[in-house]
Amino acid sequence: MERKVFRSRVSVLLAGLILEVSRPHLILMFHQKPYLGTYVVGGIFLLAILSLFSIRYIISENKLFLKVYWIIPSGSVNVADIISIKRSYIQSSFPAASLKRLRICSMTDKGLAGSYFLVSPVREQEFCDALKTMNPDIHISVNDKKAWYRIWDWDI
């Protein structure tokens, strides 16, 4: 099977929130006499923004690899262990840089369902199709209805 790479969708609200929180530190860095702490905090916020745009999901060799460059090492899950893919708006998981996410449920080492992680690929349908071709037993229930809060297919 060929290697397929999907970048993460980035939520405008999430990126804006990080920039808004970091703005006072960035202003201090460039306009006043900065202190070491200002550089450290400003650098952390800039690194957070850069990491949002570096998240990749790679499907290769019957595995789904999760990669976040610069910060978090790669993780992976066997595609054969994936049970279902559902829409999720849970806000407490990484590596998904969007608030509109896919919840991928997989089996644990003991064969029990319950392990899950959240992803937010830009080309969701193609991502789901690639996983489905490798494991036809995956149950996919992704609702793509447009809602009032969706602007130009951006995620808020």
DSSP 57-83: EEEETTEEEEEETTSS--EEEEGGGEE
pLDDT band at 130 (very low <50, low <70, confident <90, very high): very high
Cβ partners under 8 Å of residue 50, min gap 6: 70
Q: What is the pLDDT of residues 75-104, one digit of tens each?
A: 788 888 899 998 887 776 667 777 788 888
Identity of the amino acid at 22: S
Domain ranges within the chain, ordered by starting residue: 1-143
Query: How many Å apart are CA 49 and CA 16, to the nearest integer?
Result: 9
Q: For all residues of the chain together, what is the average pLDDT?
A: 77
Q: Which fold has domain 1-143?
A: PH-domain like (2.30.29)
H helices of the chain, in order, are 12-31, 36-52, 124-134
Identity of the amino acid at 33: K
* pTM as predicted: 0.75
Instruction: Calculate the dihedral angle through the C-alpha atoms of 132, 3, 117, 48, rounding to the nearest 10 degrees.
Output: -150
The total of other beta-carbon atoms located within 10 Å of residue 27's CB is: 13
